[in-house]
Structure formats: structure tokens, C-alpha cells
Amino acid sequence: MRIPPDAWLLLHVGAYFGVTLLWQGVNFWLAALLSAAAMAVIGGLIERFLLRRLAGEQLPQVLLDAGFASSSATLPML
């Protein structure tokens, strides 16, 4: 796949995580660094344990990413 659909998922979850840290009173730059580090770890785990199993199969990769995206849309509601 040329553009990983995970990128949009991680962008939204990272922004939510960063804003949550800001609301907790964390410095802006520290919140930006922590949210970027957290999204790198989450993205690495998704790629390592889930997407590698589906290497070369585009439709299952897209469906898996769509599932992550739809489940992350409910994250702020929890």
C-alpha cells in the first residue's frame, strides 16, 4: 500500500492524547513529544503484530485499518 491508512488513525489518536495532556497542565512541547512517542509505539505495535501477518494482501489490511479507525472514533467518548 502506498499510503498507510494507519497514518490517519494515529494522527487523530495522537492529537487527542496531546490535547488531553495539555488539559492536565503538561507543557505544550512536552505534550507534543509524549504524544508523538506514544503514537510511534502504537504504530510500531500495530505494524509488527497485525499488519505484517497480512503482507501483500491489500483488502485485509484496509479492513483492519478501517476497524481501527472506527474503534478509535469512539475513544474520546469513553
* Residue 13 neighbours by CB distance under 10 Å: 21
Per-residue pLDDT at 76 exceeds 60: yes
7-48 per-position pLDDT tens digit: 667 777 888 889 999 999 999 999 999 999 998 898 888 888
Give the global pTM: 0.71
